[in-house]
Structure 1
Amino acid sequence: MRSSILFLITILTALPLTAQHYLWPTNASPYLSSSFCEYRPGHFHAAIDIKTWNREGYPCYALEDGVVERVRMSVFGGGKALYIRLTDGHLAVYFHLQRFIKPLEEMIFRKQIREERYAVEIRPKGFKVKKGQVVAYTGQTGIGVPHLHFEIRDKNNVPLNPLRFYPQVKDHRPPTLQQVAIIPLDASTTVNGRHAPLVLELHKNKKTASYVPREPVYVRGRVGLALKGYDRADGVYNKLAFYKTALYAGARRIFEQKFDLMPFSKTGQVEIFIHHPLKSKTGGRFQKLYKESFNTLPVYDEQTGNGMVRVGDSARVLRVDVSDFKGNTSHLRLTLNAAPLTPDLYRYTMYDSALYLDCVLPPRLKELNFYSGATEKNARKADAYEIHFTQGQRAVIRMPRPASRDTLLGMELHTGRDVRRYEYVLQYGGKTEAVFSHWGKWLRLQWNNLFHPDSLYIGSDTGQHAVVLPLGRHVERVLTARDLRKGLLQIKGPGGLDTTFHIFPLFPGQADTAVYWDNRLRVSVSSRTVYDTLLLTLRR
């Protein structure tokens, strides 16, 4: 019994240390227009924004007894700002103020006259304030419409989530999930047959109350998820950030992130917290549910895992839990189906009465059949074929030559789990189209209607090499930043692809300088630079 009583006393006395209840900083409203750690270009939002209904002049209060540490005047950023050091060591910060109380206004005015400029700062000595005392009034100085930007920092000047100190904020609405992105993390990874992020719309299943995608997903390789959505609190329509996300593979949690604090030294990593290539191409902000090695943000549970998911021959069943600070939670359920290994047909040759195929077949085949015809409906099964493996899964296949009117060749693969059919066009006269794009750190080359044997030629200062391309309606090749060397890069291939780039890869954690156009443009990074490796397109 004694141990039980001691345990209860320990809990009760420990609570105030982590859940200090401060006075709400203004009587303007109890509602938020922005939340802690929302995305801002180049940084996380280090505060909560309190609604003032587009009006100025509401009183701001001291949260606790304390001392005014700093008063700042600026026409930019936070405008008129007030910093109060509380008795527990925390720092309360108020931005965008209309005015301060009279003694502080007089000190500021005297310094402005003395220095003959508007933007000044004072650090009063021993200027004490009491809990509940009016210290300033809300406004809209600096940037933005009228509101109160309010921060709580610890004794080391690290911003803390202010909601940790205000349990009275009302919120009964779970987050809204809009889209999920499945992002290839390796050059060999495909998502629904493509090496590019796949963005899926989400809808809520009425039976399970979980969000699900509107179409199936087939993956082979290593991927990460990213999520687009927002939260809302009671009484307002402003869109707020998620507080916590967790990813589960089956019953095992493999990723967790939450916003309790955000050091100013780390806030620039907001651009790798989101998936920046998707933002630049679509305008949408997708929050990553995985962590790369160069990401040093202190918002992750390092013991849980990095959230990256590998899909091989079996499907992976995933669940994402997304919560706000009050614990309202939405769920996303997603199955990453195992994409079948597709055959690569590199070339075909008609000789005498036979058709020869040079291809790479997937492993563990149970049965292989071929069909030919003028259309898919009248395709006929080949009576026989011969197969000779030349190296690994690469094979030469000899089969009877199709009739002259047959323009379609079908390949049917039985793996034991399912049956897949692939179509190739013979004697195709259509136009081959080449598409060049990049997704962050990948150069992506794509051809539509590639039905004639051809090669991709890649040239650089150190030489040139050729890559034989497979045939098909959609053919892709991916070059990574680490595949590229500094200097000129020339790419030539089918579909009229003929282009030259000046390549200068930059990598996280490596000091380097890229020089362009006879030293007229220089881009330098230090060894402390942290960013996702990007391929940038620069034009004069």
Structure 2
Amino acid sequence: MTRLLVVILLLSVSAQAQYHSLPDYPKDYFRNPLGIPIDLSGNFGELRPNHFHMGLDLKTQRRENLPVYAAADGYISRIKVEPGGFGRAIYVNHPNGFTTVYCHLNDFFPELESWVKNRQYEKESWSLNDTIPANLFPVKKGSYLAKSGNTGGSQAPHLHFEIRRTSDEANLNPMLFGFPLPDNTRPSILRLAIYDRTKSVYEQSPRLVSVAARGPGSYVAPLQKLSSPDISLAMTAWDTHTGSSNLNGVFEAVLYDNDKAVIGFRMDAISYDATRYLNAHIDYKTRASGGPYLQHMSELPGYLNSIYQQFSGDGVIDLSDGAVHEISIVVKDAYGNESRATVPVQYNGTPAIPQMPAGQRFYPMMVDVFESDDCEFIIGERTLYDSVSIAYRKQAVSITGVVSAQHVIGSVSIPLQDAMMVRIRPTATLSPEERDRIVMQRITGTKKEVQKVNWQHDWAMAGFRDFGTFRLLVDQEPPQVVPIGFASGARLTAASRIAFTVTDNLGKWKVLRTELNGKWICFTNDKGRNFIYRFDEHCPPGDHELKVVAQDEAGNSVEQIFRFTR
């Protein structure tokens, strides 16, 4: 009886120390959305600046206009047209509770293209994000949807393809749905990193540990003697599939301490609301300074709704017993191919002398404020991932248009999840006209961004999701509308389009309206670059007047009129 109890307990511990089986998603329900074999340039969960990659990037043979097909029966439920992001995208709802998304498209199929154009003129907006009635565009598995392209945030021709749960729009890993993609390659582990967790992860540089291959899927490192009794680890790893040289992301990793599972992560079921938490999953400081991606094998205290699963801890390993701990990280892809890296670690009994960095201490899951005579900043409870000291200093500045001191807040190596509120008091009394044209500018190296301020008495306020140097500017210079390849009065009888761009002294503007002969006209603005109108039935032969109204972040507006003949 005692022996049976022990066996039951061991089985219970073993079950708790492992991931459950893979999600039971339908296999072979969805087809390849292209007519060529699947070849990935990016996979689900891949690490990107400020976000996880939320689908598959399917190669289109380095060209555009390949046919894109519906992956299964359903109906088109939504379309999106935007300058960045997805560019031109189609959403298809399926009766089994999933939604597929097809992005960076060129032309939709003719009936949908006509519907979109009519909708743009109805709303007087090129950008759309519209739901579509379920009975309007039903599709069958293999129905032609659109031509592949390179629109929006795409850097080269490809199809970005997603599968979501329709009920909550959580993105799921398409590689778990049985798509035909040969993969018998193991993930590769390039390096490990060790952190002293008596400190903030943002107030140290990790010890980078090289690993040596010892057979297929096996990596080892020498004993590491450490001066901290509490440590955590991170890793650099990548995956690929058979016949591909693309270095893609890994699906799963689990950290073991002396063969006991501590913590792991899986790349599945990530929502767009949570995708910025990538900055809590990686060593942001190392990456921001030009170093490699390091994926934490611990859960930072400010990472909410994380991709981690804790088996016996949060990933911080207690070495205070002075014994050698054999730490292993097992990395898998979605097809079960795995690799393991092992490093023995030991506390040397001599703790490092703590050095508290300068600045006010802030903590995740707490609201706190820094205050001075002319600068304040507020850090919300969901803004930081780890505790950290945030330094502040004030700089005098004498630049035309600048009406405050410069306030240096924090370091760009510290990521923020939510925006912090920055409040600055001008150095001089401003007229009502000047107050109405105040923006707050953030500077980091050569990068500058501005936000329109709100006023609370004599304090100007704006929200930012990065640290840097902040100051107030009076901007009374309107943007400029610049014609491309024509001048007012031009004869464009042989032209197929008309185009313009907009420039601004502070680099942030928007086009409020485009009119042809007093009626709204649809200009595209792919990738936020040039505004282009291709001549159609809205511009018959004859004399025409084009009016463009643009506005910058401070509220300065310009109205530019061009006359031309077709």
Match of residue 175, structure 2, among 151, 160, 163: 163
TM-score (norm. length: structure 1): 0.63
Distance 1:178 1:160, change over 3 A: same
Distance 1:516 1:181, change over 3 A: farther
Distance 1:16 1:510, change over 3 A: closer
Listed one character per residue, the Cα deviations across residues 36-66 of structure 1 (whole Å, up to 9, x for unaligned) are 1112222211111111122111111111111
Match of residue 337, structure 2, among 328, 339, 351: 328
Match of residue 253, structure 2, among 245, 248, 252: 245
What is the CA distance between 1:106 and its match in structure 2? 0.4
Following the alignment from structure 2 to structure 1, what is the Cα–Cα distance between the partners of residues 160 and 266? Answer: 21
SS of the residue 2:57 aligns to: strand
Match of residue 531, structure 1, among 381, 385, 390: 385
Following the alignment from structure 1 to structure 2, what is the Cα–Cα distance between the partners of residues 113 and 321? Answer: 54
Partner of 2:152: 142
Match of residue 510, structure 1, among 366, 378, 395: 366
Following the alignment from structure 1 to structure 2, what is the Cα–Cα distance between the partners of residues 17 and 276? Answer: 33
Distance 1:26 1:517, change over 3 A: farther
Partner of 2:185: 173
What is the CA distance between 1:317 and its match in structure 2? 1.0
Following the alignment from structure 2 to structure 1, what is the Cα–Cα distance between the partners of residues 255 and 59? Answer: 33
% identity of equivalent residues: 25
Distance 1:76 1:201, change over 3 A: same
Asked if the contact 1:187–1:478 (Cα under 8 Å) also holds between the matched residues in 2, the reply is no
Matched, 1:479 2:356: yes
Following the alignment from structure 2 to structure 1, what is the Cα–Cα distance between the partners of residues 85 and 334? Answer: 27
SS of the residue 1:479 aligns to: coil
- Paired letter, 1:170: P
SS of the residue 1:331 aligns to: strand
Match of residue 212, structure 2, among 182, 203, 227: 203
What is the CA distance between 1:479 and its match in structure 2? 1.2
Matched, 1:133 2:147: no
- Paired letter, 1:526: G
Following the alignment from structure 1 to structure 2, what is the Cα–Cα distance between the partners of residues 298 and 216? Answer: 29
Matched, 1:231 2:85: no
Listed one character per residue, the Cα deviations across residues 201-229 of structure 1 (whole Å, up to 9, x for unaligned) are 222124x8521236744354100000012
Following the alignment from structure 2 to structure 1, what is the Cα–Cα distance between the partners of residues 165 and 105? Answer: 22
What is the CA distance between 1:112 and its match in structure 2? 2.5
Asked if the contact 2:87–2:151 (Cα under 8 Å) also holds between the matched residues in 1, the reply is yes
Distance 1:479 1:504, change over 3 A: closer
- Paired letter, 2:188: T
Listed one character per residue, the Cα deviations across residues 106-147 of structure 1 (whole Å, up to 9, x for unaligned) are 011122334444223443321211111111121000022111
TM-score (norm. length: structure 2): 0.60
What is the CA distance between 1:196 and its match in structure 2? 4.6
Following the alignment from structure 2 to structure 1, what is the Cα–Cα distance between the partners of residues 165 and 193? Answer: 36
Which structure 1 segments of 5+ residues have no match?
1-13, 343-474, 481-500
Following the alignment from structure 1 to structure 2, what is the Cα–Cα distance between the partners of residues 209 and 129? Answer: 44
What is the CA distance between 1:270 and its match in structure 2? 1.0
CA RMSD of aligned residues (A): 2.7
Distance 1:222 1:15, change over 3 A: closer
What is the CA distance between 1:18 and its match in structure 2? 4.7
Asked if the contact 1:108–1:121 (Cα under 8 Å) also holds between the matched residues in 2, the reply is no
- Paired letter, 2:138: K
Following the alignment from structure 1 to structure 2, what is the Cα–Cα distance between the partners of residues 195 and 232? Answer: 32
Distance 1:516 1:46, change over 3 A: farther
What is the CA distance between 1:29 and its match in structure 2? 3.4
What is the CA distance between 1:476 and its match in structure 2? 4.9
Following the alignment from structure 1 to structure 2, what is the Cα–Cα distance between the partners of residues 301 and 118? Answer: 43
- Paired letter, 1:137: K
1:442-457 equivalences in 2 (<5 Å): none
What is the CA distance between 1:338 and its match in structure 2? 3.2
Following the alignment from structure 2 to structure 1, what is the Cα–Cα distance between the partners of residues 297 and 23? Answer: 31
Listed one character per residue, the Cα deviations across residues 168-192 of structure 1 (whole Å, up to 9, x for unaligned) are 2211111111111000001499xxx
SS of the residue 1:111 aligns to: helix
Distance 1:539 1:79, change over 3 A: closer
Partner of 2:73: 65
Distance 1:202 1:31, change over 3 A: same
Listed one character per residue, the Cα deviations across residues 376-409 of structure 1 (whole Å, up to 9, x for unaligned) are xxxxxxxxxxxxxxxxxxxxxxxxxxxxxxxxxx
- Paired letter, 2:49: P
Partner of 1:448: none
What is the CA distance between 1:515 and its match in structure 2? 4.8
- Paired letter, 1:248: Y
Following the alignment from structure 1 to structure 2, what is the Cα–Cα distance between the partners of residues 181 and 240? Answer: 20
Kindly name which structure, 1 or 2, has the bigger radius of gyration based on alpha carbons.
1
- The runs of at least 4 consecutive aligned structure 1 residues that moved more than 6 Å come to none
Asked if the contact 1:320–1:333 (Cα under 8 Å) also holds between the matched residues in 2, the reply is yes
What is the CA distance between 1:533 and its match in structure 2? 3.1
Which structure 2 segments of 5+ residues have no match?
1-21, 391-409, 412-467, 471-566
Following the alignment from structure 1 to structure 2, what is the Cα–Cα distance between the partners of residues 136 and 111? Answer: 18
Q: Which has the higher contact order (CA 8 A, sep 6+)?
A: 2
Matched, 1:254 2:262: yes
What is the CA distance between 1:15 and its match in structure 2? 9.6
1:209-224 equivalences in 2 (<5 Å): 210-213=218-221, 216-224=224-232
- Paired letter, 2:158: H
